Structure 1
Amino acid sequence: MRLVTAREMGEMDQKTINEYGIPGLVLMENAGIRVVDVITGILGDPCGKTVAVFAGKGNNGGDGFVVARHLFNSGAEVHVFLAADHEQIKGDALVNLNIWRKMGQKVYSLTRDNDINLVRLVLMNADLVVDALYGTGFKGAVQERMAPVIEAINACGKPVVAVDIPSGLEADTGRVNGPCIRADHTVTFALAKLGLVLPSASEYVGQLHIVDISIPAAVTSEGESRRFYITKQLVRDWLPRRTGPEHKGDFGRVLVIGGSRGMSGAAVLAAQAAARTGAGLVTLGVPESIHDIAETKLTEVMTFPLPETEKGTLSRSSLDKILDHARRADVLALGPGLGTNNETAAVVKEILLRIEIPCVLDADGLNAMVGKTELFRVVKSDLVVTPHPGEMARLTGCSTGQIQNNRLNIATQKAVDWHSVVVLKGEGTTVAGPDGTLFINGTGNPGMASGGTGDVLTGVIAGLIAQGMQALYAAAAGVFLHGEAGDIAAREKGMAGLLASDLLENLPAVIKHIEET
C-alpha cells in the first residue's frame, strides 16, 4: 500500500482537477459518499439515528457538509457544528455549506466559549460523531478554543469517524502536539497518508479505511513517493511459489553463524526460523564447546563446530572454515549470540569483507561493527542489517531517543549511506532500501519484546533470501510474517510470557494463510 505526504496528495488532487477535468466538487462529493458508506457499515440504516458532524473551514469541513447532507437524506437527525465564522468558508466547501442551508438545516457555531455546552448536550444523544475539523494540511496544535470540543468528543463514548485524518494529527509525521481526536474509524481518500500508519498515530486512527474518490489510477501510481505500508497483498505477491516438482536444493541453503558459551539459544532460534520459513537446507556453525548442545536442540538443521577462544566465542582460526561453508550457501545469517569478544569481532569484519553471498547481520554481528560502518559499503553482495533502536544508536553515534524520534529519516539515510537494507526494529518496524524505498510494518505486539524474537526475525529474512527473494523484499516480508506470527501467539496465549519459540510454531501457518488469501 503506497504512502504519501500531504503535499504529494495535494498535487494529485490538483492534477486530477486541472489535467483530467474532474471538478473538486465531484471529488468532495465522492469523499462524503464514501464516508457515509463506512458510517452505514457501523450504524446500519441511518434512518432515525442521531449524528453530530464537526466541520472546519477548509475542504475537510466541506467533506463533512456532504456527509451531513447524505445522512439527512437517509433519515438521520444531523447536527452540524462549524469551527469558524460562515464568512470564512470558501470554494467547494462553501458550495456544500450553502446547499445544507438551502435544505433548511441549521449550522451551530463553535466560535464562543459557551458553545461547548450545546456540544456536550448533542453528544449525549448522538449515535455517532463525524470529525471533519482539520484536514491533512494541519500542523502543530489545534486552536485553544477547539481543545474542549475535541476533549468532549473523545469523552462521549460514541463511535467517532474521522474524515481523511483525525483532527490534531499531523499527516506527514503522525505527531500529536495537543488535543487530538481518538477515532474509531478513519476514512482516508485515494492513498494512505504517511502519518496515519506510524506508531505514534495508532491510538488515534482506529480502523483505517482507504477509499476511492475517482482520482485516476494513473495519477495515484505516479510521483516520487517510494514509501509503502506492508500488507498481506504485497507479501503474497513477493513470496516464492512452489509449483513442483522440486527438491530441497531448489529452496536455498542458509548458513547461520552464531552462538557462544551461554548463548547457544540465539543461534538455534535463527536456524530454526530459516527452516520454518521454507529454506531447503539450513546449516549452523557454532563454537565447538556448544556444538553438542546445538546438535541436541536441532533435528532438521545440520551443525558443525568451529574453533573458539578461551571465552567460548569464535576465534580467528574459525574464519577459513566459515568461508568454506559460505561458498556452498546462498545466504549467511551472522551474529545471533556471538558475544562481544574482540577477536570474534575481528572475525565478523573479515567475513563481511570476503563473502560474496547476501548476508543478514544482527545482534553481536552489529555490535562488532560499531565505529566501522564504512565497511558496510564494500560488502560484495546484498547486506541486510537488523538493529533495534539501541543498536542503531551505537552504530550511528546518536542517542536512542534521537533514533526513535526520527526513525524514518535515519533508516532511509543509513540505508543509502551504507548501501544496505536497514531493518530498524521496534513498534512500526521500518525497512529501508539503498535506493530510498521505505516500508513500514504494522504487525507485531508488545509481547514480542522478549529474548530471542530478534533472532527469529534474522532467520526468517535469511530463509526468504535463500528462496530467491530480493533482499529488500525479503526483509519487508520477513518483518510482516514475524509480526503476524507474534500476533497469533498473543491472541492464543496472551502477551505475558510470549516466547520466541511460539513464533516459530506459527510461521508455517502464517505463510499458508497469506498464500491462500
Structure 2
Amino acid sequence: MHTLYGGAAVKETDRRCENEYQLSVAALMSNAADGLYQRIHEIRRTHQLSGETVIVCGSGNNGGDGYALALKMKEKGENIQVIAFAPPAAGEPSRYAIALARKGLEPALYANNTNVCDQWLKQAALIVDCIFGSSFDTSRPVYNTFFRVCGEINDASAFVLSADMPSGVSADDGSVALYHDIPCCVKADATVCFGLDKVGLHTYPGAEYAGDVLLEDIGIPPEAIPDNQKVFLLDEEVASYLPKRKLNTHKGSYGRAFLFCGSPSMTGAAVLSAKGALRAGVGLVSCAGVPAVIDVLRNHVLEPIFCTVGETMSGDMDALGACARMDELLPKQTAILAGCGIGNSIGYGKVLVHLMQKASCPFIIDADGLNMLASETGLSVLQNTAKRIPVMITPPPAEMARLMDATIQEVQSTRMAAAKVFARQSGCIVVLKGAGTVIADPEGRCAVNASGNPGMAKGGMGDLLAGFITGFAAQEIEPFKAACIGVYYHGKAGDIAKAVLGEYSLLPHDLETLLGKAIAHSFKA
C-alpha cells in the first residue's frame, strides 16, 4: 500500500540525508525547485496560462524552495514576482534570496508592501505557495498577516500551486490553522509533494485544500526514510490481505458471523448488515432479533441462520430469554457484530453488554451500540472487553464525539488524532467513518482510505460496511486488516455504483451486489 508520512518523518529524513548520505539541504532544495519548475510548465500548458507567476516565500526551507525556483525562472527570463511573507532565514533560504536579488529581482516583504503584493496576487495567472510547507504546526497562533495573505491567494483568479503542503495545513493529520475560529490556510488547485507523500494531503480537512496531489522525486534515498512513522493509504494492494481460497474447503472453513442488529423500527439495518457479511465471503451468518426483524430478514436475505428472541409486554427485547438463546450460538462464532439499528431501549442494552462479556472472538460495535456505551459505565465495559478480545468500533463523527465527550467539530478538525487517541485509550480498533475514513489500532498503526464518494452519505451505508468488515474478521483475518479490506472495497463499490447511478441516486442496497465486483477488480488488475 502507498505510504504516507508526517512532519516528524520529513525532518528525520532531511537529517539523515545530510548526515548519513551527504545529500545537503541545498541539493534537496535545488531538486525541489527543478521539480516545481517542470510542474509549472505542465500546468501552464494544460490550463493555457499566459500571465505572470507570483511566488510567495516563507522564511524557512519551504521559502528556500520558492527562492530557488524564482532564481531558476529568473535565469530563464520568465515573468515572475516574488513576495517574502517573512525575511528569509539564515542558510540556504537567505543564500537563494541574495542570489535572486543579485539577478535584479528583490523580493518584496509583504508587511512593508502589502498593497503592491496584493495587487500582484490579484493579477497573477499562477501563484506558487512556498510559505510554510510540511513544517507548519496548526496549534501555534495565527496572526493577521497570514490570514490576510491566505485570503488574497484564495480570492485570486490564479491557479494556485502549493509546494509540499498547502500553507496552514498540518502534514501530520490534515488539521487546519484557525484565526479566531475561522479556517486559515491556502486552498490549492494542486500540491507538488516532495519525496515523502504527506498524511495531511489525504485526510480531512487537509485533503479539501490540497487539490491534485503531484508526487515529485527529489532524490531522497529510500534508506533515509524512517520506517516507524508511517501511515498507509488504502489502495488495491489490500487484496494481499485476503487469504487464497483452497479447493478442498467447505463453509466451516470460512468462519461464522453472529449479528445482533435491527429492531422493529430499523429492520433495514439488519438486512444490510447481513448482506454485507455474506458478500465478504464468510461461511455462515446467524442473525438474532425479535420476530418483526426476523420476518423482514427472511423475506430479504436467504442465506442466514435465524435466531428469534422474544419481547416483553412493552415491546422491548426480553433480555433474559434473548441472552439464554444467544448463549447457545456464541461458542461457535468467529466474529460478532452488534449495534446496527438496535435503538436505545433497556432490553437491547442489556443484551449488548451480555454479548460483550460473553464473547470470545473479534467483536465489532456500530451505531446504536456505540451510543449505548457513551457513558462512564459503558466505556468501562468497552475497555474491559478490549482487554480480552479484539474489539472494533465503527463510528461516524457524531458517535465518535459522544464517545470522546467532544464536539463533532473537534473530531472533524483532527480526525486522525481523534481516532488514534481513542484507539490508544480504549484498546479498540477505531474505524472513524466519513470522507477519508481513518482506521487506527491501539499499537499505533493507522490507515487512511481514498475510495468512496459523497453519494455514499446515506442512511444504511454504515450498516452494510459494518457487516462487510465483520464477514472478513470472521474468516480469522487479523482485525486491523479486516477493517482495511472492508473499508477500501466498500468505498470502491460506491465508486463503481457512482459511475452508473451518479451521486444523487446511489443507495446502500445498490452497493451490496457490487462489493464482489470491487474485490474481483483487484485480481484482474
What one-letter code is carried by the residue in structure 2 that aligns with 1:489? Answer: A
Residues 1:350 and 2:350 aligned together? no
Q: Residue 210 of structure 1: SS of its match in structure 2?
A: strand
Distance 1:203 1:368, change over 3 A: closer
Q: Pick which of 328-337 and 139-148 moved more.
A: 139-148
Distance 1:198 1:346, change over 3 A: same
C-alpha distance in 2, partners of 1:318/1:466? 22
What one-letter code is carried by the residue in structure 1 that aligns with 2:419? Answer: A
Q: CA deviation at 1:63?
A: 0.9
- In the other structure, the counterpart of 1:377 is 383
Distance 1:460 1:285, change over 3 A: same
What one-letter code is carried by the residue in structure 2 that aligns with 1:58? Answer: G
- In the other structure, the counterpart of 1:110 is 109
- Aligned with 1:285 (options 288, 296, 300): 288
* Residues 491-502 of structure 1 aligned to structure 2 (within 5 Å): 491-502=499-510
| Alignment deviations for residues 215-260 of structure 1 (CA, whole Å, 9 cap, x no partner) | 332332334x2x5243205523323334656544443332222222
- In the other structure, the counterpart of 1:435 is 443
| Alignment deviations for residues 416-455 of structure 1 (CA, whole Å, 9 cap, x no partner) | 3332212223343332212122223344444433221111
- In the other structure, the counterpart of 1:453 is 461
What one-letter code is carried by the residue in structure 2 that aligns with 1:55? Answer: C
Q: How many residues align?
A: 511
Distance 1:417 1:176, change over 3 A: closer
C-alpha distance in 1, partners of 2:111/2:422? 50
* Residues 133-282 of structure 1 aligned to structure 2 (within 5 Å): 133-139=131-137, 140=140, 144-145=144-145, 147-173=147-173, 174-178=175-179, 179-223=184-228, 225=229, 227-242=230-245, 244=247, 246-282=249-285
Q: CA deviation at 1:124?
A: 3.0
CA RMSD in angstroms, aligned pairs only: 3.0
What one-letter code is carried by the residue in structure 2 that aligns with 1:167? Answer: S
- In the other structure, the counterpart of 1:35 is 36
What one-letter code is carried by the residue in structure 2 that aligns with 1:331? Answer: A
Q: TM-score, normalised by structure 1?
A: 0.88
Residues 164, 194 of structure 2: 8 Å contact kept: yes
What one-letter code is carried by the residue in structure 2 that aligns with 1:372? Answer: G
Q: CA deviation at 1:456?
A: 0.9
- In the other structure, the counterpart of 1:8 is 9
Q: Residue 462 of structure 1: SS of its match in structure 2?
A: helix
C-alpha distance in 1, partners of 2:20/2:395? 45
C-alpha distance in 1, partners of 2:347/2:380? 20
Distance 1:188 1:335, change over 3 A: same
C-alpha distance in 1, partners of 2:185/2:408? 26
Distance 1:176 1:498, change over 3 A: farther
* Residues 313-392 of structure 1 aligned to structure 2 (within 5 Å): 313=317, 315-370=319-374, 371-379=377-385, 380-392=388-400
C-alpha distance in 1, partners of 2:384/2:167? 46
| Alignment deviations for residues 264-300 of structure 1 (CA, whole Å, 9 cap, x no partner) | 1101100101122332332322223432221111134
Q: CA deviation at 1:112?
A: 5.4
Residues 113, 145 of structure 1: 8 Å contact kept: no
What one-letter code is carried by the residue in structure 1 that aligns with 2:330? Answer: A
Residues 287, 312 of structure 1: 8 Å contact kept: no
Residues 366, 395 of structure 2: 8 Å contact kept: yes
C-alpha distance in 2, partners of 1:40/1:316? 71
- Aligned with 1:513 (options 515, 521, 525): 521
Q: CA deviation at 1:106?
A: 1.7
Q: Residue 200 of structure 1: SS of its match in structure 2?
A: coil
What one-letter code is carried by the residue in structure 2 that aligns with 1:286? Answer: G
- In the other structure, the counterpart of 2:63 is 61
Q: CA deviation at 1:209?
A: 2.7
C-alpha distance in 2, partners of 1:214/1:279? 46
Residues 251, 283 of structure 2: 8 Å contact kept: yes
Q: Residue 167 of structure 2: SS of its match in structure 1?
A: coil
Residues 3, 193 of structure 1: 8 Å contact kept: yes
C-alpha distance in 2, partners of 1:429/1:500? 17
C-alpha distance in 1, partners of 2:165/2:279? 39
Q: CA deviation at 1:367?
A: 3.4
* Residues 453-472 of structure 1 aligned to structure 2 (within 5 Å): 453-472=461-480
Q: CA deviation at 1:114?
A: 4.8
Identity of aligned residues (%): 31
Q: CA deviation at 1:113?
A: 5.3
Distance 1:432 1:47, change over 3 A: closer
Distance 1:257 1:215, change over 3 A: same
What one-letter code is carried by the residue in structure 1 that aligns with 2:197? Answer: A
What one-letter code is carried by the residue in structure 2 that aligns with 1:214? Answer: G
Structure 1: unaligned runs, 5 residues or longer = none
C-alpha distance in 1, partners of 2:243/2:398? 33
Structure 2: unaligned runs, 5 residues or longer = none
Distance 1:189 1:266, change over 3 A: same
Q: CA deviation at 1:186?
A: 1.0
Distance 1:290 1:194, change over 3 A: closer
What one-letter code is carried by the residue in structure 2 that aligns with 1:305? Answer: T
Q: Residue 503 of structure 2: SS of its match in structure 1?
A: coil
Q: Residue 199 of structure 1: SS of its match in structure 2?
A: coil
Q: Residue 209 of structure 1: SS of its match in structure 2?
A: strand
Distance 1:314 1:293, change over 3 A: farther
C-alpha distance in 1, partners of 2:263/2:85? 63
